[in-house]
A and B are shown apart, each in its own frame.
Chain A
Amino acid sequence: MELLRSVYEVAGFILLIALGVAALEGYFYYHFKFHDRPWFFWAGLAVFPLLVWSGFVAGGIAKPGLFAWLFAIEAVVLAFFRYAVKGRHSLAYLLLLPAFVGLALLLVYPFLFEVYLSFHDLKLTTIMMWKNTGKIPFVGLEQYVKVFTTSPLSEVTFWALLGRTLLWTFSNVFFHVLGGFALALLLNNAISLKGVYRTLLVIPWAMPQVVAVLAMRGEFHSQNGFVNIILGRIAEAYPLLAGLGVGPVQWLSDYPLLTCTIINVWLGIPFMMVVILGGLQSISTSYYDAADIDGASYFQKLRYITLPLVKPVLMPAVTLGTVWTFNNINVIYLVTGQAGGTEQADILVSALYKAAFTYNRYSYSAAFAIVVFALLFFISVTYLHGFDAAKDER
């Protein structure tokens, strides 16, 4: 019976979505189709506000003045369709509508709500007030000031976190590109069993990140981890190296950010490798033939031909990689974030997560998230600008 009930609930949910989409399509169909009829305004004003209003009443959330609002909104929509849209591109918009609505619900609404939160004060002490009255105190820019002046966690400041995040991002992306490039160059040669190597190398990317990260975290365990066992053996076998300080290390407590970086580099190389390999394979061999005849050495060919010609595929991948690494909470949180974890490895987004869901500072984290968003936006635009410049060059 439990099973039947779940099926029934899921089916009901899907049906609800379908009905919602159908209602929306019908609503806009009316506006596209009949925009030039004489009764367009009157029928629209008579039907749609009333329908929505009765829906609100039935749901028990109607408020005084609501009908007037709906009436005014509908008048604007009707005028917009009559004088601006004039029935143009109606099919295209009707087909795109479900996607737009989905995006609006999943992206636009949360974003607007986040902006709203960031100018108010929602935290553990005000959440009950919000629940009971639906109101939270307006605080203006106070949350934004707090972002830059107080610590999101117990000790590290925003600026320390920012520096650490930039270090983390750029060192990761650097090694991703370096490792990916080296492997792609190897795979681009005519070697036997190429398919096998490629499959093996892509595994870290194909594996669910949680599994991969937790497995790697185990390997960095101070006593039973692979890394420390190997380091111990090396120190035993070569006393000289041991004298230089090679030996088991408390990875997770002494070098948490380094551990995270190693794990994330390992995770991120396959993506870059695949992208760069695709770029390499698209370079016509006749450039290399011409360079051979011109007398270019291997490194000259790499420097003057391979690198510039891979750049157009590399730049978008680096932009993506930067954003992903900047936002990568998985690795940091899974390696260091559990109970008794350290703050030494936290980057902006993992601190943000902890501020919101460990310390319950919702409005503060909303402001924090908007600051992070602005940063990423700036980085991406800079990268894409550089990418365009590179494209114009060719």
Chain B
Amino acid sequence: MATVKFSNIVKNFKDNQVLKRVDLEIKDHEFVVIVGPSGCGKTTLLRMLAGLEEISSGEIHIDDTLVNHLHPSKRQIAMVFQDYALYPHMTVEENMSFSLRIKSAPRKEIQERVAEAASILQLGKLLKRMPKQLSGGQRQRVAIGRAIVRQPKVFLFDEPLSNLDAKLREEMRVEIAKLYQRLGATIIYVTHDQVEAMTLAGRIVIMNQGVIQQVGTPIEVYRKPDNLFVAGFIGSPTMNFIEGTLRVEKGHVRFVSPSLSLDLPASLLPAEGAHEGREAVIGVRPDDVYAGREAGKNCSQKVDAVLEVSELLGHRENLYLKAGDLRLLATVEAFFNQSPGSVVPVCFNFENMHVFDKASQKRLSA
């Protein structure tokens, strides 16, 4: 198994710079998920590591070996593609053994390795089938099996679950997590789905517009997003953002916006003179917006809001609220017994609140 190091990676497609000086180190045995909206350059980064895409500038090392000019097959990586890329005219077995057969590996070794991968993925009964005779999930497993057979240093997954339906996707997510535990391999996994990222990753790399926004464990990027983009991208439903101005008052900072003013506790944002008059954005997750009875129990500084719509999810309920001109989403315990149009007291959990500078989009709060 292996470490991977990206240094100063740049990728240009004609005049369009899709990757802007990307630096990233991936440790041995690590499961790293690269996540970001489409077009952020995450797949390009992965394909450059695989050797399928030219590197405009910068260096990629696998285990201290510079691989910039190494042929894909020499990099000891294996890739699982979004559309699986199973050769349609070959059986499952032929697909899995293709890389060994073209190297003219001994037949015994081919059989052993295919059998091993098939037993890991429970593909034994499917070996003689054609890809078109398989379901989406089975194809996905064959694609992973093809990767395992190659015994690579690094596994690359390029949006492997995006062609599956929601239920199957959950199942395969668990399978991939189990597989990681079993193989203990270095895995780099690209997805646009933040749920996959949160559930699978040891570390998450969040990318936007060719720039890495934050690298951290799932809990770090969830609890302490470095900037507005990460705050908005990670977490479902999306975080509430409130724009306003900061005022430094005796010993604390006061956040002032047209529809809402809050005294921020010093634990959230120390009263520094530099904050005076700063344009800021407050971020608070729907789970940390208390409404109705919860608001009564938990906090001070209540605001009155009008309930516009409520969505029952089962054990939780989404409340779409409006305080002045401000729209807020609160997720509360089901069953919230208020009809749309009624006035609801709302307050916030300051412990899990985030303050961002509006100009630089960076995090201000601790």
Contacts and interface: CB of A to CB of B under 8 A. Distances in A.
Interface stretch (B76-84, B241-249, B303-311): B76-84
B103 A295 contact: yes
B156 to A, nearest CB: 9
Contacts of B99: 293-295
B174 interface: no
Given A286-B85, A287-B85, A394-B89, A293 B79 contact: yes
Interface string B84-105: 0101110000000011001100
Interface residues of B, number: 26
A103 to B, nearest CB: 37
B73 A292 contact: yes
A289 interface: yes
A287 B87 contact: yes
Contacts of B146: 290, 294
Interface in A371-394: 393-394
Contacts of A309: 88-89
A304 B72 contact: no
B1 interface: no
B46 to A, nearest CB: 11
A293 B73 contact: yes
B83 A286 contact: yes
A192 to B, nearest CB: 14
A147 B42 CA distance: 72
Could you say which of B51, B89, B150 has the most chain A C-beta atoms within 10 Å of its C-beta?
A: B89
Interface bin, chain A: 10 to 19
Interface string B123-155: 000000010100000000000001000100000
A284 B47 CA distance: 16
Contact of B85 (A284, A295, A300, A394): A284
B98 A294 contact: yes
Contacts of A300: 102
B52 interface: yes
B204 interface: no
A297 B99 CA distance: 11
A295 to B, nearest CB: 3
B50 interface: yes
A295 B51 contact: no
A290 B89 contact: no
Contacts of B78: 293
B89 A308 contact: yes
Given A393-B89, A394-B88, A394-B130, A292 B81 contact: no
B32 to A, nearest CB: 19
B79 A289 contact: yes
Contacts of B98: 291, 294, 296, 304
B72 A292 contact: yes
A309 B85 CA distance: 13
A65 B162 CA distance: 77
Contact of A290 (B74, B77, B85, B103): B85
A290 B130 CA distance: 17
A305 interface: yes
Contact of B52 (A284, A289, A297, A304): A289
Interface string B61-79: 0000000000111100111
Nearest to A296: B102
B153 to A, nearest CB: 13
A289 B87 contact: no
Contact of B81 (A290, A295, A296, A304): A290
Contact of B51 (A290, A292, A308, A394): A292
B87 A305 contact: yes
Contact of A289 (B81, B103, B150): B81
A292 B83 contact: no
Contacts of A297: 102
Interface string A130-164: 00000000000000000000000000000000000
Interface in A304-323: 304-305, 308-309
A293 B89 contact: no
A293 B73 CA distance: 5
A303 to B, nearest CB: 9
For A284, A289, A291, A394, the residue with the greatest tally of chain B CB atoms inside 10 Å of its CB is A289
B81 A286 contact: yes
B304 to A, nearest CB: 55
B18 to A, nearest CB: 18
Nearest to B103: A295
B155 to A, nearest CB: 11
Given A292-B73, A293-B73, A304 B51 contact: no
Contacts of A286: 81-83, 85
B87 A304 contact: yes
A320 B146 CA distance: 39
Contacts of B79: 289-290, 293
A292 B52 contact: yes
A293 B72 contact: yes
Interface in A341-386: none
A85 to B, nearest CB: 40
A291 B85 CA distance: 9
Interface in B30-75: 47, 50-52, 71-74
B343 to A, nearest CB: 56
Contacts of A308: 87, 89
A263 B98 CA distance: 42
Contacts of A294: 73, 98-99, 102, 146, 150
Nearest to B79: A293
Given A294-B73, A295-B102, A308-B87, 17 more contacts: A284-B83, A286-B81, A286-B82, A287-B87, A289-B47, A290-B87, A290-B146, A291-B98, A292-B72, A293-B73, A293-B79, A294-B102, A295-B71, A296-B102, A300-B102, A308-B89, A394-B132
27 contacts: A284-B85, A286-B81, A286-B83, A286-B85, A289-B47, A289-B52, A292-B52, A292-B71, A292-B72, A293-B50, A293-B51, A293-B77, A294-B98, A295-B71, A295-B73, A295-B99, A295-B102, A295-B103, A296-B73, A296-B98, A296-B102, A300-B102, A304-B87, A305-B87, A308-B87, A394-B88, A394-B89
Interface of B: 47, 50-52, 71-74, 77-79, 81-83, 85, 87-89, 98-99, 102-103, 130, 132, 146, 150
Nearest 10 A/B pairs, CB to CB: A295-B73, A294-B99, A286-B85, A290-B85, A308-B89, A292-B72, A293-B72, A286-B81, A289-B52, A300-B102
